[in-house]
Structure 1
Amino acid sequence: MLESEKSTMPRPIFTDPAYYTKAFNYSMSIGDNIEAVQKWTDEKFCGHVVEKLVANITDDKQLRVLGVGSGSGEIELFFLNKLLTKFPKIHTCVVEPSATLLETYQAKIKAHATNITFDWENHTLEGFVEKHHKNNHKYHFISAINSMYYVKDLNEALQSLYDMLVPGGILQVAITADFTGYGKLWRTFPDLGSETLSQDGSPESDSSSSHHRDSGYIHDSLRQLQIPYYTDDYTCNYKITKCFDEKESEEGNLALDFLTHTIGFRNAPKDLLQQVLACIKESCVQRGDQWFFQSRNVSFFITKT
């Protein structure tokens, strides 16, 4: 990216938590991610997690679960309901830095599992680890779904999560696949949403520069840490037709801003805007007059030895 373009780049979406939440919620509304995860959970989760925990965990009356970056709970509740089929009592600790998403999750549980108790932690993973490192809490299952984008030190985060498992416990880390969908976009344009200074020159959040991680980074980190793992994946689609409309719209802007992890990307330098839109379209399939952005998510499964 040219220096002249860098100086006019929109600021990272992480610098405005309220806008991030709005863009995230809109992205979820135009995608089939939740449906894809539910289908994957129904078909694969028991084999990857539930059955192995049944075999590995024999001396605890209550399953202890940790959710990292749990968002508004849709995905995590799929997992918890599957775990309930074999573990009638579950205590789960929910770690989520967005207070708005945490409140949404809390509202959902009233209509869901009755045999699950919850602790609520409005923290980043780093904040949670710092707060609880003296308690030495251990968990049977830890899920970190689309949250490793935002940690400052990936090796440290993965090692911390691994250390929180009981022997035989399982860690699931899900993240976008490299060189497909989001991974392809971010590898092609690594500066998107990751400027160290905003347009007014003020320092940005420390987390704003780390969101471009994809499955390749997790592979590399786990190998460096010498932690064994295996993977599974699924594909999800997002209807982003409005991103390509000539007439600007709030919906198109929200979708584009979440894809690029910026605020107001429509106002980026014209050449850059056209290049990014072309790259996004390369990861799309067209159905009639609609465009669907396809991205693959990879789950890493790690068992504590």
Structure 2
Amino acid sequence: MTSSLRSLIGDSNRYLKALSLFKERTTCYQNTYDFIDNQLPDIMASNLKGKSHLNIIGVGSGSGEIDIRILSMLRLKYPLMSVDNEVVEPNPQQIHDYKDLVFETPGLDFTNFTWNEMTAEDFEDQWKEKNLTKKADLIHMFQVLYFVNDPGATISFFHSLLNENGKLLIVLLSGSSGAGKMVGILSKKFSDTEIKYLTSTEVRRVLDTKGLKYQSYPLSSLMDATECFIEGNEEGELLFDFTTEVHQFKKSVPPKLKAEIMEFYRNQCCSVDENGKILFNLDSEIIVVDQM
């Protein structure tokens, strides 16, 4: 496949449009909120025992919905706790939207926000240049590692910032999901392009190699992909771009490959037809890495 294919992330405006539409069409965010509300408190219980202050780093926090959900959960469970919350996000519009969300959300006065408009790798470079020694109790990376050059190195760096009993939360597309199987095909087709694919399978392999202790939790997710199969539908094309990570996928790849991928996309191993809707399987995996 020609290396002229572009990654969707390279077009900030189109990426943000696709992301906004994805949020509307998927169950991913609501299921993530359920995990934060109902499972994360127990996961973090030993980490938080006896503490009155918490240091958190959100890597690739986007517009902040997941970060705010975590902070709201902490406020509910530990009303006397204060939090320093480092936000790492390279997109200025996402930072702006995050700040608006903070302003609109009541009860966040217990949190001090530090805004880092930069990539995870730039944050690492800055941290090392300043010789910072601050440690974190919780670091979370929700659907972020797709965008770094060396996921293993990024994991190692942020894991090194954890306090004793700290937790590193990594959320990625499950290798066994429909989307995970699809990107497995795409990674072979587009091996000589700038587009990189990653699933939880590769991340667990990295963690095993490094000898890191972790637990894994399934995170189910379906996306209404019906419009993806309506020729010329702009919203369908945005969703297809988002799930393949390819800028203008349908207009950029050869017709034969486009037909092959679309057929696989709709295959029973990837999608289900339900009440006239095509629901694409985007199950993720939540990996909680411990600092012992």
Return the TM-score normalized by structure 2.
0.91
The 2-side partners of 1:10 and 1:54 are apart by 46
Pick aligned residue for 1:75 from 66, 80, 101: 66
Q: Secondary structure of the equivalent of 1:152?
A: coil
The 1-side partners of 2:246 and 2:84 are apart by 36
Percent identity of the aligned residues? 21
- C-alpha deviation, 1:258, in angstroms: 0.8
Q: Does 1:93 align with 2:86?
A: yes
Q: Secondary structure of the equivalent of 2:146?
A: coil
Q: Secondary structure of the equivalent of 1:189?
A: helix
Q: Which residue of 2 aligns with 1:105?
A: 98
The 1-side partners of 2:71 and 2:28 are apart by 18
Corresponding letter in the other structure for 2:215: Y
Contact 1:192 1:261 in 2 (8 A): no
For each residue in 1:67-123, what CA deviation from the matched residue of structure 2 results, as whole angstroms up to 9, or x when unmatched?
001111111211111122225211100001111111111100112222111001011
Contact 2:225 2:239 in 1 (8 A): yes
Corresponding letter in the other structure for 2:83: I
For each residue in 1:125-160, what CA deviation from the matched residue of structure 2 results, as whole angstroms up to 9, or x when unmatched?
110010112112211111111111111112211110
Q: Which residue of 2 aligns with 1:290?
A: 277
CA RMSD of aligned residues (A): 1.7
The 2-side partners of 1:192 and 1:14 are apart by 19
Q: Which residue of 1 aligns with 2:164?
A: 167
Structure 2, gaps ≥5 residues long: none
Q: Which residue of 2 aligns with 1:153?
A: 150
Q: Does 1:181 align with 2:178?
A: yes
Q: Does 1:123 align with 2:118?
A: yes
The 2-side partners of 1:168 and 1:130 are apart by 25
Corresponding letter in the other structure for 1:46: P
The 1-side partners of 2:202 and 2:7 are apart by 21
Q: Does 1:263 align with 2:263?
A: no
After superposition, the Cα gap between the structure-2 partners of 1:66 and 1:193, relative to the gap in structure 1 and judged at 3 Å, is farther
For each residue in 1:198-244, what CA deviation from the matched residue of structure 2 results, as whole angstroms up to 9, or x when unmatched?
xxxxxxxxxx443x110111111111111111111111111110111
Structure 1, gaps ≥5 residues long: 1-5, 197-207
Q: Secondary structure of the equivalent of 1:97?
A: coil
Most deviating of 224-233 and 182-191: 182-191
Q: Secondary structure of the equivalent of 2:145?
A: coil
Pick aligned residue for 1:214 from 194, 199, 207: 199
Return the TM-score normalized by structure 1.
0.88
Corresponding letter in the other structure for 1:225: K
Contact 1:193 1:261 in 2 (8 A): no
Corresponding letter in the other structure for 2:220: T
Q: Does 1:54 align with 2:41?
A: no
The 1-side partners of 2:215 and 2:3 are apart by 42
Contact 1:8 1:269 in 2 (8 A): no
Q: Which residue of 2 aligns with 1:13?
A: 8
Q: Does 1:132 align with 2:127?
A: yes
Contact 1:68 1:94 in 2 (8 A): yes
The 1-side partners of 2:278 and 2:6 are apart by 26
Contact 1:193 1:260 in 2 (8 A): no
After superposition, the Cα gap between the structure-2 partners of 1:116 and 1:8, relative to the gap in structure 1 and judged at 3 Å, is closer
After superposition, the Cα gap between the structure-2 partners of 1:195 and 1:106, relative to the gap in structure 1 and judged at 3 Å, is farther
The 2-side partners of 1:286 and 1:119 are apart by 45
Q: Which residue of 2 aligns with 1:236?
A: 221
Corresponding letter in the other structure for 1:265: F
The 2-side partners of 1:118 and 1:234 are apart by 28
Q: Which residue of 2 aligns with 1:202?
A: none
Contact 1:11 1:195 in 2 (8 A): no
Contact 2:195 2:246 in 1 (8 A): no
Q: Secondary structure of the equivalent of 1:149?
A: helix
Contact 1:186 1:192 in 2 (8 A): no
The 2-side partners of 1:261 and 1:154 are apart by 17
Give aligned pairs, total.
283
Q: Does 1:300 align with 2:287?
A: yes
Corresponding letter in the other structure for 2:7: P
